[in-house]
Structure formats: structure tokens, C-alpha cells
């Protein structure tokens, strides 16, 4: 295992990811709690958000979109039907899509829904560390939509990394991502850990949703879940590192982190601040 230093091989993966030159149209079926933050975050990186949940519009809409974000944060019987229909259409039309396992620790309904969506071969399945533990069938101490610090010990993180790697062997088309103090990014042939960010990212709502939406904007370009995951997480987390330097209080920190999404783009070499480790 390498040190958590700036890592050349990881930086090379993400070079040239920002700014997005081509404004991908990103369709999001997401939760009402953070929907506005998600839409603005996409605009700040030069993507175009569109939030549509009425399945009657899907046949026309799916001819127009570049990628799809399916977020389980606030489900209902209608939302569940829309999520499944969208996953099915994305799969048959080969549109890259991301599943965000928000709140999967809460109920079997969300757990079963995530497994049904996995059958459509998503580009990425992501959640926080506690959510990903539940998804992988490991014990989890997550509460509501937040992860538990007891799931973030190094033993638990190693156990989760192994479980995700096993999942990736059975689902070679999908990248599995768990976020937290350490972020795990796992595909069939690669295992990566990232170490940027600040603990305050867990103290305002929507950071997981935003990073999921950023990945969705990036999968359109490369169809590569691993590169999109590394770029999106690192970008948001370095924005937060910059924001914490100049703010006091969580509301100002939130505002400045979002503001930085539109500013860090101006630093051509932002990716040189990535800290992580790449396993073979």
C-alpha cells in the first residue's frame, strides 16, 4: 500500500477532466431535499441538469440525455416505478448511469430496489461507507442517510474494500464507490483509496448527492466509472479544502464549497492536489 501522498498515477487518470467543454445533459431522478444544490453544482462545472420523474416523458427525453443519475434519497411508489423504468431504458439505450444508494440502511424496500437496479448494469453504484456496507451484505451502523464513524475504522474499511472487489468480479461493467473520510473506488481490475476532503463535508446535506451528480456528468465523456469517480470526488473534496481555509461556520462553508466548484476549474493543475493510493 502506498502512502497517502500526491500520487502521480492517480493524477494522470483525471487530467483534462475539467472544465467540461461539451456540457453533457444530465438527467437526475433525485430527492427534493437537495435537488436545487445538485442542479446548481452541475451548472457550475458546465454540465446541464434536467430533473424529470414522469415516465410518460421518458421516450422523448431519453433521446436527448447524455447520462442519468438515479438517487434513492426520497422514494415513493411512483418514484420507484420511475427509477426502475429509467434504469431499464438507460440499459437498453446504452446511456451511462449512476445509482446513489441514499438511505439504503433504512429499509428493505430501498435494499431490494438497489438490487433490481443493479441488474440493469449501471456504470457506477455509489453510497457512503455505511450504505455501501449494507449493499455488500456487511453489518452497518449507518443512521438515516448518514454514515457512522464506527464503520470507518481501518479494519472496517479493509473489509468493505474486499467485499466491493468481490462484487466487482460478478459485475465487471460496474464501478463501486464508497465515500467517507477515506473514499474507496473499486472496479474489476482496480482498487483505489482517496484521502482529500474535510470532516465538515458530512455536516451539510447534499454532499453525497452532489458528488454522485458530478460523477454522472463525467461518465458521459469516458463511460469509465473509475476515472469519473476519482475526478468527481477529488474535485469536490479539494473545493472543500479551499473553502474551509476562508470561512467560519457551516452555512458559509457550504456556500463557499459550492462557489469553489465554479472556481477550481480555473486552476489547470487542480488534480495535482489529489491524495490517494492505487492498488494493482
Site string for ligand TZP, 56-95 (x = CB under 6 A): -----------------xx---------------------
**Binding to ligand ADP, residues 143-182 (CB under 6 A):** 146-147, 179-181
Q: 236 burial class (0-12, 13-18, 19+ CB within 10 angstroms)?
A: buried
Distance CA 38, CA 209 (A): 7
Describe the strand order of the beta sheet including 67-71 as a list of residue ranges: 48-51, 25-29, 67-71, 97-100, 124-128, 175-179, 183-187, 190-194, 276-279
Selected from 233, 238, 258, 277, the binder of ligand ADP by CB under 6 A is 233
Annotated binding-site residue? 15: no
Query: Which of 45, 102, 217, 274 contacts ligand TZP by CB under 6 A?
Result: 102
Give min distance, CB of 55 to ligand ADP, in A: 26
Smallest distance, ligand TZP to C-beta of residue 100, A:
8
Q: Are 60 and 45 in contact (CB under 8 A)?
A: no
Q: Given the rule CB under 5 A, which residues bind Mg ion?
A: 207-208
Among positions 182-211, residues that touch ligand TZP (CB under 6 A) are 205-209
What's 238's DSSP letter?
Answer: H
Distance CA 171, CA 47 (A): 28
Placement of cell 449512476 in the chain: 98
187 binds ligand ADP (CB under 6 A): no
Q: Dihedral angle at the C-alpha atoms of 187, 193, 197, 203, nearest 10 degrees?
A: 70
Distance, in Å, from the CA atom of 188 to the CA atom of 212, rounded to the nearest integer, reads: 20
Q: How far is the CB of 103 from ligand TZP (least distance, A)?
A: 6
30, interface contact from Mg ion, ligand TZP, ligand ADP, none, CB < 5-8 Å by kind: none
Annotated ligand binding at 212? The verdict is: no
**Distance (Å, rounded) from C-alpha 271 to C-alpha 18?**
10
Which of Mg ion, ligand TZP, ligand ADP, none does residue 74 bind to, with CB < 5 to 8 Å depending on kind?
A: ligand TZP
- Beta carbon of residue 126, minimum distance to ligand TZP (angstroms, whole number): 10
CA 152 to chain centre: 18
Consult the annotation and say whether 51 binds a ligand. Answer: yes
Query: Would you say 110 or 167 has its CB closer to ligand TZP?
Result: 110
Residue ranges in the chain assigned as alpha helix (H): 8-14, 35-44, 58-61, 77-93, 108-118, 129-135, 154-170, 207-222, 225-246, 250-263
Q: Which is nearer to ligand ADP, 96 or 197 (CB)?
A: 197
Provide the annotated binding site: 51, 126, 179, 206
Binding site for ligand TZP (CB under 6 A): 31, 33-34, 73-74, 102-103, 145, 205-209
Provide the annotated binding site for ATP: 126, 179
Amino acid at each position: 500500500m502506498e502512502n497517502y501522498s500526491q500520487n502521480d498515477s492517480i493524477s494522470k487518470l483525471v487530467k483534462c477532466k475539467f472544465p467540461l467543454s461539451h456540457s453533457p445533459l444530465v438527467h437526475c431522478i433525485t430527492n427534493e431535499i437537495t435537488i436545487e444544490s445538485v442542479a446548481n453544482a452541475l451548472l457550475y462545472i458546465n454540465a446541464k441538469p434536467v430533473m424529470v420523474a414522469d415516465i410518460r416523458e421518458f421516450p422523448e427525453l431519453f433521446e436527448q440525455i447524455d447520462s442519468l443519475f438515479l438517487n434513492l434519497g426520497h422514494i415513493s411508489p411512483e418514484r420507484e416505478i420511475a427509477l426502475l423504468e429509467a434504469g431499464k431504458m438507460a440499459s437498453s439505450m446504452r446511456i451511462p448511469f449512476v445509482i446513489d444508494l441514499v438511505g439504503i440502511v433504512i429499509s428493505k424496500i430501498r435494499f431490494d430496489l438497489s438490487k433490481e437496479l443493479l441488474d440493469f448494469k449501471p456504470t457506477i453504484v455509489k453510497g457512503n461507507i455505511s450504505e455501501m456496507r449494507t449493499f455488500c451484505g456487511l453489518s452497518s451502523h449507518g443512521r438515516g442517510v448518514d454514515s457512522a464513524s464506527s464503520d470507518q475504522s481501518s479494519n472496517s474499511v479493509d473489509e468493505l474494500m474486499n467485499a466491493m472487489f468481490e462484487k466487482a468480479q460478478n459485475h465487471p461493467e460496474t464501478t463501486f464507490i464508497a465515500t467517507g473520510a477515506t473514499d474507496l473506488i473499486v472496479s474489476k481490475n482496480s482498487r483505489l483509496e482517496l484521502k482529500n476532503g474535510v470532516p465538515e463535508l458530512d455536516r451539510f446535506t447534499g454532499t453525497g448527492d452532489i458528488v454522485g451528480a458530478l460523477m454522472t456528468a463525467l461518465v458521459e465523456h469516458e463511460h469509465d466509472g473509475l476515472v469519473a469517480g476519482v475526478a468527481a470526488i477529488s474535485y469536490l473534496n479539494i473545493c472543500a479544502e479551499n473553502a474551509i481555509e476562508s470561512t467560519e461556520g457551516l452555512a458559509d462553508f457550504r456556500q463557499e464549497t459550492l462557489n469553489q466548484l465554479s472556481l477550481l476549474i480555473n486552476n489547470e493543475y487542480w488534480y495535482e492536489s489529489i491524495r490517494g493510493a492505487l492498488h494493482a
